[in-house]
A and B are shown apart, each in its own frame.
Chain A
Amino acid sequence: MIEATGLTKHYGRTVAVDNLSFTVGEGRVTGFLGPNGAGKSTTMRMILGLDSPTSGDVRIDGQHYRDLHQPLRTVGALLDAKWVHPNRSARAHLRWLAAATKLPRSRIDQVLDLVGLGAVANKNAGGFSLGMSQRLGIAAALLGDPRVLLFDEPVNGLDPEGILWIRKFMHQLADEGRTVFVSSHLLSEMAQTAQDLVVIGRGKLIYQGTVDEFIANATESTVLVRSPTLEKLGEHLLAAGAGISDDGDALRVSGMDSAAIGELAATRQIVLHELSPQVGSLEQAFIHLTGDTVEYRTEEPALGTTEEGPTA
């Protein structure tokens, strides 16, 4: 279990992480979600004792990382797949990590086979593709058979096959009862990988809970209705307390589900041509929640007002 309380990190005058409190439970994959620059990596570095918090505290199973004895036996982390010496072989990279944790050499071959790098174990890590580097990083994280695993953007830059492999792998790790904490800036990825979510924006906690709840809360579902007597229907819907917005030749109804709208139409003897529930996308939900907290926002381009318009 990972427990953060009031975690804060300042870099000069920049506040990277702002009074962040959350818990990551065992036996589940917890997604750590936020836009780029939200403070995910900084938080992970603080969990692992690489960066010191300006204030606040984060513990793994009740202990600070830097107080753990042979921490690789408790926590495995993949923060950046490129944290290897390019002229050192994959096996040698794992060999010194294993030596630091007093693990038998046989464990090196086990994890290499587990991630499918057995055949290239003696090749220099500098020649590895991103996918292979990620696998080596995962092998290093798993070396000490840890209870807690942290992955920072593990699917970034991977091909679909690699993404699928990592996704399955994380579920397997969680099913074995481990704590899996994985960051991403892609909600759709998290929706398929994680059961729980910790969502941050600009270093602040936005949401903590299950993925399903997050999507249900964040996506406002509407119903699209079409009818030859749209105006009449609209009046009745408003009277019944629903919100409506005009959508061309249809109405977008919020605050009332399709069953209630259908019954209302039937009692009022209004003919319906279409009655279709609209579910908001995950991306909309994410943007809806983190919209105010994106650090590097692009201005909407004002089309047609530029001076360098087409001259022909």
Chain B
Amino acid sequence: MTLLAVERIKLFTTRSPWWCTLIALVLTIGFGALMAGTSEENIAPLTIAATQFGYTFGLVVVMVMAALAITTEYRFSTIRATFLAVPNRPTALIAKATVVAVLAAIVGEIAAFGSWGIARLMKPNVDLAINTAYEWRAVAGVGLVYGISAVVAVAVGVLLRHSAGAIAVLLIWNQLVEPLVQLIPKVGDDIHKWLPFNVANKLITGNPDPSTRDVLQGPPPSDAVLGPWPALAAFAGFAVVLFGIALVVANRRDA
């Protein structure tokens, strides 16, 4: 608990997490409003999935926030001050990842319910009640994916130690590599089904109810083979393994 308090103080006594939180919320909720505002009953009806269209943009910002939380420590050598105060490096880094993941999850939930809420306000006549398991996953699942993605970002930050490098790797991987892998002939689609962010996306977009979702509305559904919850477990497992590697490396490396 002590270490969680330490990391909480560190995170909230600098400005970047506040800015990243604000940008993530404005982006996602803004896209929710955009989807609601441009929807038309017959051509592009507003659905719960459609209100979550902006979640990947918020995800990118949240990962930048998480990566910065650790890489700025390396940049300003406060990581050394941290390891002097807490020589058990794995516990110090686990505390950091936990605090960052919790913040990311909260941002995700506010972003998701905010996007859904603003759509309801703008289109009170459209039925946007959250009834089915799919609808709950599509909204509440965003926070879970953000939280786990934050752990991935912290792990990459620990391994690379440079803000620019870590952010570049995360963005290129999330925004370019995963979508573009599908273009590889023959094997591309099979690889894509198992890439971590696509797997995570399965929780939010996977197994839609035929009655509530037209495939063309909202974020494109994930083609991951796992079911939505096993997919989330797989994504969490991936994050844990990557973070475990980062802990081993940080523990062995000269600080």
Contacts and interface: CB of A to CB of B under 8 A. Distances in A.
Contacts of A86: 76
B87 A65 contact: yes
A194 B255 CA distance: 29
B77 interface: yes
B5 A99 contact: yes
A61 to B, nearest CB: 15
Interface residues of B, number: 26
A303 to B, nearest CB: 43
Contacts of A27: none
A28 interface: no
B78 A99 contact: no
A66 interface: yes
17 contacts: A45-B254, A49-B83, A49-B87, A50-B83, A51-B254, A68-B87, A80-B77, A85-B72, A85-B76, A85-B78, A88-B10, A89-B13, A95-B9, A96-B6, A96-B13, A100-B82, A100-B85
* 8 closest cross-chain pairs (CB), A and B: A92-B13, A100-B85, A66-B87, A51-B254, A96-B9, A83-B77, A50-B255, A100-B6
Contacts of A92: 9, 13
A101 B85 contact: yes
A6 interface: no
Contacts of B5: 99
B84 A99 contact: no
A51 B89 CA distance: 13
B14 interface: yes
A71 B80 CA distance: 13
A250 interface: no
B102 interface: no
A259 to B, nearest CB: 54
Interface of B: 2-3, 5-6, 9-10, 13-15, 72-73, 76-78, 80-88, 252, 254-255
A85 B12 CA distance: 12
A88 B72 CA distance: 12
A270 interface: no
A83 B81 contact: yes
Contacts of A45: 254-255
Q: Among A68, A100, A140, which residue has the most Cβ atoms of chain B within 10 A?
A: A100
Contacts of B78: 83-85
Given A97-B85, A100-B3, 5 more contacts: A49-B83, A68-B87, A72-B84, A83-B81, A86-B76
A71 B85 contact: yes
Contacts of B82: 100
A170 interface: no
A71 B77 CA distance: 18
Contacts of A51: 254-255
A88 B14 contact: yes
Given A50-B254, A88-B13, A100 B2 contact: yes
Given A68-B87, A92-B13, A99 B2 contact: yes
A5 interface: no
A256 B81 CA distance: 54
Contact of B81 (A87, A89, A95, A140): A140
A59 to B, nearest CB: 14
A48 B80 CA distance: 10
Interface string A65-81: 11110011001010110
A99 B9 contact: yes
A82 interface: yes
A150 to B, nearest CB: 10
Contacts of B81: 83-84, 97, 140
